[in-house]
Amino acid sequence: MRTPRVLAAAVTAVTALALAACGSGSGKEATAEPSPAGDGKITIYSGRTEKLIKPLIENFEKASGVKVEVRYDDTAKLAAQLLEEGGKTKADLYFAQDAGGLGAVAKAGLFAALPKDVTSKVPAEYRAANDQWVGVTGRSRVLVYNSDLVQAADLPKTVFDLKDPRWKGKIGIAPTNGSFQSFVTAIRVSQGDDAAKAFLKNLKDNDVQSRSGNALIVEDVNSGKLAAGLVNHYYVYEKAKEKGTTPDGLKAKLHFFRGGDPGALVNVAGVGVLKQAAKDPDVRKFVDYLLSADGQKYFAEQTYEYPLVAGVATAPGLPSLKDLNPPKVDLNDLDSLQQTIAIIKGSGLVP
Amino acid sequence: MAAGALLAGAVAVTPLVYLLIRTAEAGWERVAEELLTTRVALLASRSLLLAAVVTTACLVLGAGTAYLVVRTDLPGRRFFGVLAALPLAVPTYVAGFCWIAAVDAFEGFWAAALLLTLCSYPYVYLPVAAALAGADPAQEEVARSLGHGPWRTLTGVTLRQIRPAVAAGGLLVALYVLSDFGAVSLTRFHTFTVAIFTAVDLGFDKTGALVLSTVLVVLTVALLAGEMATRRRGARYARVGSGARHQAPQRKLGAWRWPLAGALSGVAFLSLGVPALSLAQRMIEGVSRADPLGEVAVAAGNSLRVSALGAALSVLLALPVGLYAVRGSGWLPGLLERVSYAGHGLPGLVIGLSLVAFGVHVVYPLYQTTTMLALAYAVLFLPLAVGSVHAAAAQAPPGLEEVARSLGRTPWSVFRTVTIPLTAPGIATGAALVMLTCMKELAATLMLRPTGMDTLATELWTQTSAGAYAGAAPYAALLVALSAIPTWLLVRGNYRELS
């Protein structure tokens, strides 16, 4: 039988592979450069969906002559992928749906600080304190409600009113969603851990309905399966767009909480530049474009988010960013998620 | 053969090596804190319960359909033969999405079980149909001539003849249920896989997700051991005696012909009709439009290309494993065959992360290339091909190879001219199964595809995650339509045996 010799060879090969993987498992190898600086090409890892930002990227390509390669996945998966890739990532820039994803990558030390003249275009509350990332657009947490099932006069004054028995079994949430976590963090930071725990417990006791994403909540509210739900404001616009109408034509309406309620948290979608691309002029051009009047106008008109750079108007029908009355929460705190996660897991709302 | 099988084993355990390294890095304290909880016990029992119910349902539905289509005078059986395989092309995330839109309060255990059964019974149907078509009817005739009735012949002879195919199919279904995310997340039945995805979504907790995955590995090993325990030693599945094998006689269904055809139509309606109607309705309601035809064609081309690559690589690795398992002796062949199942019980997300690490640290030039993606498909779907090759090889009489050798042929020549032709139906079945499954794979594809490459599955995800359901419909339709081609080739093979 030849088997023993072959077996020995194969075992050696497997062991070598395993050792190679072990030896390099720490992720501290020499930095590989993804695309050489200034070669007219950049690579983006985008947690924002292709449907929303592809036209913007095409506009940028036309305007700048820079070729953009985009890897689309969701924000959390891309953060996990970036953390696994470490210094050997092929990404030049990470475009995330929320501050939490940016914070996690920043914490791993993968981002280069952005120049002050870039970050200063955006108000301090919508960027990292250490300039590791900058917000591009704002999104407000809202209560979406079905206007047939809920009278405007009966809308809750604060998100804490949702424990009222009249909302029993009628409210939708997306507890695994990044923006829901940020919102719970906002409760923690502004009112303390016990308040956050009590809030989630009350929701659970009131038979809150979990969905895997915000879009599904808006769908169920619009069709009347749910009376109301906690989502980000622009999902209603997306739904209207798909139905070929305006938000006025939908049953699903927006209710903004007032008075600094945590239910009105304004989170950002933003970008961070990976270390190895810090000096790439093409990457800089893209960041500048996102924060230019053209870029900001695109988001305001096409994705109905809040522009963060002064001088660009908000989409018609939305209260302006200044008129919103968000809670005082430092988005830098949103990367300190462990406590929030422990609370969400402990609530029994997620597996 | 042994070397090839060992190589395949090495590929299959890549994710396990990664899991072990990362778990060890996490430290025992973290592992204990993460795993020794009632939550983990609850999740594991949920996953197992779901796997048990879905596997049982798939065995009944899959083997029953196969028998009706291959061995009876069911009206329109060719049509049903193709139809029964097509649900394989429907991703659980699409089916789930359609069902929750169509049925109010479609959630919980039974909803998840129904969805998973409808989407995965072809894993049993296809290998069993191939085995029934390839089994030697002489054994059944002997049983009948010795006085066994039809029912005793079916249970005592036919079922035993096709046991490897039934077991392989059942195992695939059980492991698939463990790893599925689409159906369970949409029906809000929280299984282990949901917890793993949640760990990543909640706070980007890669380590927590990986530590949890080790439990799925343990469950996989338990299922493999369970399947092993059902095997009979010294069983022979090849035909006995000389002469050409003839066709199995058709069982006359009599008055049951039309009711049974109706039942199969009902299953097809639930598995294909409901998703199709739901997508059609959304297409009419929505105003978003699919991308220009060119982009759709590019995505379709990419899907076919990477899936074909994945299927080719899987079959190449599966061939030595399957043959060695049947022809080799000692404990090693069986072990390697079991090892090839390692990746199938893990979610695509975990396979994706492990191959990101493997790509970045070991084979960097291959990272984010189609080769890497094909490798991921092979790790995930190797057992689909191994099972088919094994079943076919078990039905091929080993005497033929021995005779060829004794007549002076070299081992390579015997392999080429005797072994390959004899196992060809199994190879084809395996390739088609893997290809169909690759087409709809999403999580690993998103993570490992070359940057900028779209496939039908990723486009479907892009459209639905932006709520553009009308835009998604053409991609879904094309995914099913393209899958019908390998399905047809697959099923046609079974009929050639008949007439």
- Whole-angstrom distance, CA of residue B302 vs CA of residue B100: 30
The better pLDDT of the pair A84, A329 is held by A84
User: What is the nearest CA distance from B462 to chain A, expressed in angstroms?
Assistant: 6
- Whole-angstrom distance, CA of residue A350 vs CA of residue B181: 14
Query: Phi-psi bin for A46: left (phi > 0), alpha (psi -120 to 50), beta?
Result: beta
User: Would you call B72 helix, strand, or coil by DSSP?
Assistant: strand
- B237 occurs within a structural domain: no
Angle at B393 between CA B416 and CA B304, to 5 degrees: 75
For residue range B406-430, list pLDDT tens digits in order.
888 888 888 888 888 888 877 888 8
| Bridge partners, A127 (sequence order) | A134
Do residues B44 and B213 make contact, with C-beta atoms less than 8 angstroms apart? no
User: What is the nearest CA distance from A326 to chain B, expressed in angstroms?
Assistant: 23
Give just the sign of the alpha carbon dihedral B206, B212, B213, B214: positive
Do residues B70 and B133 make contact, with C-beta atoms less than 8 angstroms apart? yes
Chain A residues close to B186, C-beta within 8 Å: 212
Helix (H) or strand (E) holding B388: helix B370-395
Contacts of B477 (CB under 8 A, 6+ apart): B276, B279
Size of interface A-B (CB pairs under 8 A): 170
Structure tokens at B19: 């899991």
Structure tokens at A126: 């919508």
- B419 occurs within a structural domain: yes
Q: Averaged over A197-206, what is the pLDDT? A: 94
- Whole-angstrom distance, CA of residue B219 vs CA of residue A168: 38
User: What is the nearest CA distance from A83 to chain B, expressed in angstroms?
Assistant: 8
In this prediction, residue B326 has a pLDDT band, given cuts at 50, 70 and 90, of confident
The yes-or-no verdict on residue B65 having pLDDT over 70 is yes
Q: What are phi and psi of A233, to 5 degrees?
A: -65, -35
Buried b / exposed e over A38-71, threshold 16 CB at 10 Å, is: eeeebbbbbbbbbbbbbebbeebeeebebebbbb
The answer to whether the CB atoms of B356 and A84 lie below 8 A apart is: yes
Q: Is the Cβ of B204 closer than 8 Å to some Cβ of chain A?
A: yes
- Whole-angstrom distance, CA of residue B257 vs CA of residue B72: 9
The CB density around residue B320, as the number of other CB atoms within 10 Å, is 23
Do residues B14 and B141 make contact, with C-beta atoms less than 8 angstroms apart? no
- Whole-angstrom distance, CA of residue B170 vs CA of residue B223: 10
DSSP A83-135: HHHGGG---SEEEESSHHHHHHHHHTT-EEPPPHHHHTTS-GGGB-TTSS-EE
Do residues A79 and B353 make contact, with C-beta atoms less than 8 angstroms apart? no
Q: Is the Cβ of B231 closer than 8 Å to some Cβ of chain A?
A: no
Contacts of B431 (CB under 8 A, 6+ apart): B311, B312, B314, B315, B385, B486
**CB-neighbour burial class of residue B328 (10 A; exposed 0-12, middle 13-18, buried 19+):** buried
The answer to whether the CB atoms of A90 and B368 lie below 8 A apart is: yes
The answer to whether the CB atoms of B451 and A242 lie below 8 A apart is: no
- Whole-angstrom distance, CA of residue B84 vs CA of residue B86: 6
Helices B293-327 & B398-406, crossing angle to 10 degrees?
A: 70
- Whole-angstrom distance, CA of residue A101 vs CA of residue A83: 11
Candidates A109, A84, A112, A80; CA nearest to A96 is: A80
Q: Is the Cβ of B107 closer than 8 Å to some Cβ of chain A?
A: no
The answer to whether the CB atoms of A6 and B362 lie below 8 A apart is: no
The answer to whether the CB atoms of A24 and B362 lie below 8 A apart is: yes
| Bridge partners, A97 (sequence order) | none
**CATH classification at residue B273:** 1.10.3720.10
Q: Which of residues 379-438 of B touch A (CB under 8 A)?
A: none
Please provide the distance, in angstroms rounded to a whole number, between the alpha carbons at the two ends of chain A.
Answer: 51
Q: Is the Cβ of A41 closer than 8 Å to some Cβ of chain B?
A: no
Radius of gyration of chain B (CA): 23
Beta strands in chain A (DSSP E): 41-46, 67-72, 93-96, 111-112, 134-146, 171-173, 209-210, 228-232, 252-255, 266-274, 306-307
- For residue A28, the model assigns a pLDDT of 35
Do residues A76 and A101 make contact, with C-beta atoms less than 8 angstroms apart? yes
- Structural domains of chain A, ranges and CATH numbers in brackets: 41-138+267-318 (3.40.190.10), 139-265+337-347 (3.40.190.10)
The better pLDDT of the pair A114, B414 is held by A114
The yes-or-no verdict on residue B498 having pLDDT over 60 is no
- B388 occurs within a structural domain: yes
pTM value > 0.90: no
Closest alpha carbon within chain B to A225: B104
Structure tokens at B385: 């091909």
The answer to whether the CB atoms of B202 and A345 lie below 8 A apart is: yes
| Bridge partners, A254 (sequence order) | A144
- Whole-angstrom distance, CA of residue B438 vs CA of residue B270: 23
The CB density around residue B451, as the number of other CB atoms within 10 Å, is 15
For residue range B363-403, list pLDDT tens digits in order.
888 899 999 999 999 999 998 888 888 877 877 777 888 88
- Whole-angstrom distance, CA of residue B102 vs CA of residue B94: 12
Q: Averaged over B221-235, what is the pLDDT? A: 75
Q: Is the Cβ of A344 closer than 8 Å to some Cβ of chain B?
A: yes
Candidates B29, B288, B70; CA nearest to B161 is: B70
- For residue B236, the model assigns a pLDDT of 60
For residue range A122-175, list pLDDT tens digits in order.
999 899 989 999 999 999 999 999 999 999 889 999 999 999 999 999 999 998
Q: Indicate the residue of A85, A218, A241 with minimum beta-carbon distance to B356.
A: A85
The yes-or-no verdict on residue A351 having pLDDT over 80 is no
Q: Averaged over A249-261, what is the pLDDT? A: 90
- B82 occurs within a structural domain: yes
Q: What are phi and psi of B282, to 5 degrees?
A: -65, -35
Give just the sign of the alpha carbon dihedral B364, B367, B369, B374: positive
Q: What are phi and psi of A14, to 5 degrees?
A: -60, -45
In this prediction, residue A51 has a pLDDT band, given cuts at 50, 70 and 90, of confident
What share of chain B in percent tops pLDDT 70?
93
Closest alpha carbon within chain B to A75: B201
- For residue B190, the model assigns a pLDDT of 86
Domain range for B34: 2-228+265-496
Q: Averaged over B216-244, what is the pLDDT? A: 72
Chain B residues close to A213, C-beta within 8 Å: 465
For residue range B437-447, list pLDDT tens digits in order.
899 899 899 99
Out of A43-52, A88-97, B161-170, least confident range? B161-170
Do residues A305 and A237 make contact, with C-beta atoms less than 8 angstroms apart? no
What share of chain A in percent tops pLDDT 70?
88
Angle at A51 between CA A48 and CA A53, to 5 degrees: 55
Q: What is the mean pLDDT of chain A?
A: 85
Q: Is the Cβ of B98 closer than 8 Å to some Cβ of chain A?
A: no
In this prediction, residue B312 has a pLDDT band, given cuts at 50, 70 and 90, of very high
Q: Is the Cβ of A181 closer than 8 Å to some Cβ of chain B?
A: yes
- Whole-angstrom distance, CA of residue B431 vs CA of residue B468: 33
- B244 occurs within a structural domain: no
> Mutate which of B181, B204, B332, B448 to disrupt the A interface (most A C-beta within 10 Å)?
B204
Pairing label, strands A209-210, A171-173: parallel
Candidates B175, B52, B187; CA nearest to B112 is: B187
In this prediction, residue A3 has a pLDDT band, given cuts at 50, 70 and 90, of very low
- Whole-angstrom distance, CA of residue B37 vs CA of residue B53: 25
- For residue A6, the model assigns a pLDDT of 42
Do residues B386 and B337 make contact, with C-beta atoms less than 8 angstroms apart? yes
For residue range A319-329, list pLDDT tens digits in order.
888 888 888 77
Candidates A247, A252, A239, A74; CA nearest to B469 is: A239
- B200 occurs within a structural domain: yes
The answer to whether the CB atoms of A9 and B3 lie below 8 A apart is: yes
Q: What are phi and psi of B194, to 5 degrees?
A: -60, -40
Structure tokens at B482: 């393209």
The yes-or-no verdict on residue B340 having pLDDT over 60 is yes
What single-letter amino acid sits at A183? F
The answer to whether the CB atoms of B367 and A90 lie below 8 A apart is: yes
Closest alpha carbon within chain A to B11: A14
DSSP structure class, residue A315? P
Candidates B202, B194, B222, B213; CA nearest to B350 is: B213
- For residue B232, the model assigns a pLDDT of 62
Looking at the structure of chain B, the number of domains it has is 1
- B236 occurs within a structural domain: no
For residue range B262-295, list pLDDT tens digits in order.
999 999 999 999 988 888 887 777 766 666 788 8
The answer to whether the CB atoms of A6 and B200 lie below 8 A apart is: no
- For residue A32, the model assigns a pLDDT of 43
User: Would you call A244 helix, strand, or coil by DSSP?
Assistant: coil
Query: Phi-psi bin for B135: left (phi > 0), alpha (psi -120 to 50), beta?
Result: beta
User: What is the nearest CA distance from A15 to chain B, expressed in angstroms?
Assistant: 9
Q: Is the Cβ of B356 closer than 8 Å to some Cβ of chain A?
A: yes
| Bridge partners, A44 (sequence order) | A70, A93
- For residue A293, the model assigns a pLDDT of 94
- B45 occurs within a structural domain: yes
For residue range B140-195, list pLDDT tens digits in order.
777 778 877 777 777 777 777 788 788 888 998 999 999 988 888 888 888 888 88
Structure tokens at B185: 């997340």
Q: Which of residues 14-73 of B touch A (CB under 8 A)?
A: 14, 17-18, 21-22, 25, 39, 43
The yes-or-no verdict on residue A14 having pLDDT over 60 is no
The answer to whether the CB atoms of A212 and B186 lie below 8 A apart is: yes
Do residues B87 and B276 make contact, with C-beta atoms less than 8 angstroms apart? no
Angle at B140 between CA B139 and CA B141, to 5 degrees: 90
In this prediction, residue A5 has a pLDDT band, given cuts at 50, 70 and 90, of very low
Q: Averaged over B328-334, what is the pLDDT? A: 84
Structure tokens at A294: 């053209």
Q: Indicate the residue of A50, A83, A176 with minimum beta-carbon distance to B206.
A: A83
Contacts of B90 (CB under 8 A, 6+ apart): B119, B271, B272, B275, B440, B480
Measured CA to CA in angstroms, residue A281 lies from A278, A286, A335 at distances of 8, 9, 28
| ipTM above 0.95 for this complex | no
The CB density around residue B308, as the number of other CB atoms within 10 Å, is 17
Q: Which of residues 294-333 of A touch B (CB under 8 A)?
A: none
The answer to whether the CB atoms of A20 and B362 lie below 8 A apart is: yes
Chain B residues close to A212, C-beta within 8 Å: 185-186, 188
- For residue A217, the model assigns a pLDDT of 92
